[in-house]
Amino acid sequence: RSPQDTSTAIEPDAEGMLLNSIFTTVAPSVVHIKVTQQLSQLDLPSELPFPEAPDEFFRQGEGSGFVLDKNGYIITNYHVVRNSERLEVTFFDGITARAEVIGGDPDSDLAVIRVAVDSSVLKPVILGDSDQVFIGQRAVAIGNPFGQTWTLTTGVVSAVGRTMRSGTSQFSIPEMIQTDAAINPGNSGGPLLDTEGRVVGVNTMILSQSRSSAGVGFAVPVNIVKQIAPSLIEIGHYSYPWLGIS
* Under 8 Å between Cβ of 182 and 216: no
First and final C-alpha spacing in the chain: 94
CA dihedral defined by 128, 136, 153, 97, rounded to 10 degrees? 20
> Mind telling me the catalytic residues?
79, 109, 188
Count CB atoms within 10 A of the CB of residue 195. 15
Spell 116-127 as b/e; 16+ CB within 10 A means b: ebeeebbbebeb
Exposed, middle or buried: residue 137 (CB in 10 Å: 0-12, 13-18, 19+)? middle
Q: Which residues contact 1 (CB under 8 A, 6 or more apart)?
A: none
The whole-angstrom separation of Cα 75 and Cα 67 is: 7
Residues 239 and 202 sit within 8 Å (Cβ to Cβ): no
